[in-house]
A and B are shown apart, each in its own frame.
Chain A
């Protein structure tokens, strides 16, 4: 089935967010809600939702123009619009009668074979379809998105016994490829997978923190980094999602779970939490939550609630020996530690992981679905069964026993073995009958981690590795901390050019880190500057310039395949590629001015050339220069791959992949398509206006300085950038080669790195992770 048009009914946060994300896939979407009372505009709710989404951050739309794909309306006047839709998503209030009534209306207008799904998180599918026609039941399923729909990768699908298999396939495929979701099949059980375990985890972690006398900071610190869980832990997470949601979720779990479910023993809302909700302390959307920002007395103080007294006090960094121990010894050291942090980790892990293990096969067929759901829906680095493997089966068994919990059959089955293993380079998992099965990736998914499990690198050093990814394509992976660019990566790039030239067809720049690359290794640079080895720094700058240039003119195509952040020196690698296949969630920018520098590895040069040859820019010598100046001097970072095209970080024909797991495969096909009859690009020369352009930019910079929008050192850096982008001491009648521009870039870069205020910026960034506004 092909999905060409979608409808979402219910323009609340979830419904509107789902509609926005469908538009992100380039698919037109109808968004309907009820007709509000006492308002002239009958479409006010849906229209208002779209308007609001254009303003909020993080943005639900990947590009503002996507809003034009959303047709707004109401369910009284516009139901006939559903007749054109291939998929109709219901995301209205969680009331069975309202949903059932709406389904009858939908069924009367929808086209035969269209799929209807509910975004419910609490109502069983069997109840939803209880009174519907056979045709409707066959076309119906639950598609459970997570908030916010653009950013949360998990999508839980629950099909009924009578749901058409091809309908499930069609929706799964669309959500996977077009929406970029990690689709997990769930059984029709309360809370499906992620919330069943996730809410239990939050609740247990809150109750145990109270019982053991941990502060919220301590609890979140233990739950966070050592377990591979986002640093918001449980209390910060509750603030984020809204504390008032908890009683609703608990109530629905109490109503729908079987009476002997261990969840129910933990489902009482603590008195403090009830009081917070009653007083409006519902989290970040309310007056504050377990944490709040106290802005009285003109300041901005982060405070935490005392779980005993309910009073707020200034937040303090958690200081626990167990946390210290976990830094060296990892999860095991934490769990084995006698202090309250260790005790807390033991109790929470025993209960939560034990509960998760007891739920298979009730909620899902196998451990893969459960681990996937927790990783994609709650951003855990490791799923419950991966965590058990990290603890070791026997240690986990002891944990359960010491907490007085029984061993679920699955844990007994795993006994002395692990849930996952690698056999002959193939990842396998333990199924419910105790047999290892291969982890099979869907067609079109190519993971570097799988390749790494089964092969040896073609070359590697401390910061990068080179992998044969098949069909004559090689992948260059960065392995340095935060994938920062450094001389080792540059060296391996040069080596890669030799290897690929001789024996392969194409090179892909890709890694599976959270971020493609956060930029050049600032620590190395600052160290060299502090000991005054300027020649060495200049060599490093020139080395980078020449390496990237060599990539650009290599006799084979080079494809960038970034995801996450691609900043500074990382962005510059991509600017030199023949083509980019980017994950939709790529955040790219030249941010060097933040540390008092300008792009020095050909970034200025490439941006100038891109804008110069851009056919859609206004004519004349200045617009290209001004565009580059605006983008680089403000350290602009595009907030999506779509936005990156506006800034020409990506070219109009660069590819975008919605599903991160499909990125490498897409990049590889792109590389192979280009490899056939490949010709390296022809070098181009450009003419720049020289001093007149610098004078024009100086006028603008002075204005920003006067208005208080640019600091003293901003002016220094911006003027250095202006020197570079204007072409230096040139004239519009002259033309500049690539090497002329690189020379100028280097010269300006070297003038800045000797500036003490630049060094202060670099040092501040390394120490605090934030830019210094000097």
Chain B
């Protein structure tokens, strides 16, 4: 079977929905900006690209039609490149990478662009027309459970205190702020509409400032807006290709895809999804957690992240080195490509061997990718 590599990663700035600097930018334009930046930086021959796989969690309105195909046009790419929009909620753009890898492994093309986007400003979470199946909603309320509630469920089940969650959130902001200050984030960011920097990071966040926030979802719970990832606008993209192609065309290989996995769990505790999917991926890679040097664990919520940290015995010192979604933001469809691309880039930057990128998915799923240095 062919080796598959990641040979490029770029993203737009991530900014707060409804008040950030990108509220007026359409999601298809955001995605096109990330794609154009990726193609330019990776130096890939565009005519070799087979398909553009675009993840999006709420593909309607401005994110509707077949957005991937439209992004091909908006990016000025040749019409010969296909476009497919995929939806696995928050796991959408990691799924995009998995689909491309699978296709390349089967010999269905050499080069894919795998991107993701969400403007949570312009298409609200749950979309404009949430129309749940009333019978299913009555029989299985968890099928449509709110994400905040799942975070509370895990906080209770794992007895994770508010203070622990807040310490985790503070650390995320500190790491992101330090990375931003040191210019470590600018390498991956493609400026859009004159915006060059992330907008969600709050370097001034302290345990005290978080302790003063109101509970967001459950009046007897522990989760606040400060320990949840913010609503975010942003897009990301990675270049996925066969190792052979990358080498013969002199592309800058960041990492090789070693394995990946999907798993399901009870929707009420969707945040624990990464545990099973990571274990499956590790097993497929013939590795254990101890072998992993770099971890990108999506921070949908601090409670959910900490529950995964506990079950997977994750070393926090190896995790989210440049901050996670609590500080950087979580534009649903864009996150999977960000953390996978980021893990690959970190493997190279930190000169390490193995990386894990994993995230939880609403509805009760986990998704994980294991990368290795080449």
Contact = CB atoms under 8 A, between A and B. Distances in A.
Interface of A: 618-623, 689, 691-696, 698-699, 702-703, 706-708
Contacts of A693: 131
Contacts of B217: 703, 706-707
A618 B218 CA distance: 30
Contacts of A623: 128-129
A692 B134 contact: yes
A699 B137 contact: yes
B343 to A, nearest CB: 33
A695 B137 contact: yes
B133 A699 contact: no
A706 B128 contact: no
A695 B219 contact: no
Contacts of B133: 692, 695
Contact of A703 (B132, B146, B220): B146
Contact of A699 (B128, B146, B216, B218): B146
A695 B129 CA distance: 12
B134 A620 contact: no
A694 B134 CA distance: 8
A234 B132 CA distance: 58
A619 B148 contact: no
Interface string B129-173: 111111001100000101011000000000000000000000000
Interface centre among B132, B219, B220 (most CB of A within 10 A): B132
B147 to A, nearest CB: 10
B107 interface: no
B76 interface: no
B131 A692 contact: yes
A725 to B, nearest CB: 14
Contacts of A696: 130-132
A705 B150 CA distance: 15
Contact of B216 (A618, A620, A707): A707
A48 B197 CA distance: 26
B102 interface: no
B61 interface: yes
B215 A691 contact: no
A703 B215 contact: no
A739 B132 CA distance: 27
A706 to B, nearest CB: 5
A620 B220 CA distance: 36
Contacts, number: 55
Nearest to B136: A695
A622 B146 contact: no
Given A699-B144, A703-B217, A707-B218, A621 B129 contact: yes
A172 to B, nearest CB: 43
Nearest to B216: A707
Nearest to A623: B128
Given A620-B128, A708-B218, 6 more contacts: A618-B128, A620-B129, A692-B134, A695-B134, A696-B131, A699-B144
Nearest to A705: B219
11 contacts: A618-B128, A622-B131, A689-B131, A695-B137, A695-B144, A703-B146, A706-B149, A707-B217, A707-B218, A707-B219, A708-B219
Contacts of A620: 128-129
A708 B218 CA distance: 7
The A interface, classified by DSSP as helix, strand, loop or mixed, is helix
A696 B149 CA distance: 16
Interface residues of B, number: 20
A179 B199 CA distance: 41
Nearest to B61: A618
Contacts of B132: 692, 695-696, 699
A125 B137 CA distance: 73
A621 B144 contact: no
A620 B61 CA distance: 10
B215 A621 contact: no
Given A703-B148, A706-B218, A698 B137 contact: yes
A621 B60 CA distance: 14
Contacts of B61: 618
B125 to A, nearest CB: 12
Contacts of B138: 695
Contacts of A695: 132-134, 137-138, 144
Interface centre among B134, B138, B149, B217 (most CB of A within 10 A): B134
Given A699-B137, A699-B146, A707 B215 contact: yes
Contacts of A699: 130, 132, 137, 144, 146
Contacts of B148: 703, 707
A32 B56 CA distance: 48
Nearest to B128: A618
A702 B138 CA distance: 13
Contact of B129 (A622, A694, A703): A622
Contact of A622 (B130, B137, B218, B219): B130
A692 to B, nearest CB: 4
Contact of B149 (A692, A694, A703): A703
Contacts of B134: 691-692, 694-695
Top-4 shortest CB links A-B: A708-B219, A620-B129, A691-B134, A622-B129
A51 to B, nearest CB: 15
Contacts of B215: 707-708
Interface in B116-132: 128-132
Nearest to A618: B128
Contacts of B146: 699, 702-703
B144 A622 contact: no
B256 to A, nearest CB: 42
Interface string B91-129: 000000000000000000000000000000000000011
Contacts of A691: 134
Given A694-B134, A707-B217, A622 B149 contact: no
A586 to B, nearest CB: 29
A619 B218 CA distance: 32
A734 to B, nearest CB: 15
B337 to A, nearest CB: 27
A621 B127 CA distance: 12
Contacts of B129: 620-623
Interface string B53-84: 00000000100000000000000000000000
A689 B133 CA distance: 11
Contacts of B219: 706-708
A703 B146 CA distance: 7
Nearest to B64: A619
Nearest to B124: A618
A693 B134 CA distance: 8
Contacts of B131: 621-622, 689, 692-693, 696
Interface centre among B130, B137, B138, B148 (most CB of A within 10 A): B130
A31 B19 CA distance: 26
Nearest to B215: A707
A134 B292 CA distance: 87
A709 to B, nearest CB: 8
A712 to B, nearest CB: 13
A706 B218 CA distance: 5
Nearest to A689: B131
B142 to A, nearest CB: 11
A623 to B, nearest CB: 6
A628 to B, nearest CB: 15
A68 to B, nearest CB: 16
Contacts of A703: 146, 148-149, 217
Contacts of A692: 131-134
A274 B175 CA distance: 56
A473 to B, nearest CB: 43
Contacts of B218: 706-708
A638 B37 CA distance: 46
Given A706-B219, A707-B215, A619 B128 contact: yes
A696 B144 CA distance: 9
Contacts of B144: 695, 699
Nearest to A622: B129
Contacts of A702: 146
